[in-house]
Structures are given as C-alpha cells and as structure tokens.
Amino acid sequence: GENVEQHPSTLSVQEGDSAVIKCTYSDSASNYFPWYKQELGKGPQLIIDIRSNVGEKKDQRIAVTLNKTAKHFSLHITETQPEDSAVYFCAASIGQAGTALIFGKGTTLSVSS
C-alpha cells in the first residue's frame, strides 16, 4: 500500500543552526505535500505545503523542496529558535480523489539555546 517514510526520527540542533527533514513517498499519483508541526497536547498545525506543479516554496525561515521524479520532499528550517522545538510530520495526498493524507511517523526536533 501507500507509504510515506520520514527521516530522521529525532533531530537535535543548536539555536541558529539549520534543520532538514526528509520524506519519501510511494504513490506516484500523490500531488499535494503538506508539513505539520505538532506541539505537546495539541493538534497538528500546517506550517507549509507544496503542490506538484512547484519544485520549491519558501515562507520566511521555512522552505520545502519537491522532487517528483525521485518521489521525495524535504523541509528546511533556517535560523532555528527554541520555539521551533516540536514534532514535525510530512504528509502526501492519497486515495481515489486525492483528498486524504498519509503521514510519516514524525521527527522530534529539539532546539537548544
């Protein structure tokens, strides 16, 4: 079945460093790739998304790149801050209508000051 693999599972960086999280997906029909941030006790919050007709998207300190040929996409956070500490999930659209999401297992990012 469809699958999204996410690496690494944990990531520790110093404040001000960059963080990169990588995901690969199996369904070649996937065309929408959101990234969510989940803090303890809260629901996932969308931080950035990319659609298949775009190779890269940036929003301030956050950027996402997509390689449809290789079926992988990545999240890049620059100038990390302690408040960036959370669990990050990548996801890909699946299903007949492409409206459901399949998620990776998450990356726990810790930013120390």
110 interacts with another protein by CB under 8 A: no
91 interacts with another protein by CB under 8 A: yes
State how far the Cα of 2 lies from the Cα of 89, in Å rounded to an integer. 16
Q: How many residues bind another protein (CB under 8 A)?
A: 31
96 interacts with another protein by CB under 8 A: yes
| Of 46, 54, 56, 58, the one binding another protein by CB under 8 A | 46
State how far the Cα of 69 lies from the Cα of 48, in Å rounded to an integer. 21
Strand, helix or coil for residue 33: strand
State how far the Cα of 25 lies from the Cα of 72, in Å rounded to an integer. 6
28 interacts with another protein by CB under 8 A: no
Cβ 87 to another protein shortest distance, Å: 9
Stretch that binds another protein, among 36-44, 54-62, 67-75, 77-85 (CB under 8 A): 36-44
83 interacts with another protein by CB under 8 A: no
Helices then strands (H, E): number in the chain?
A: 0, 11
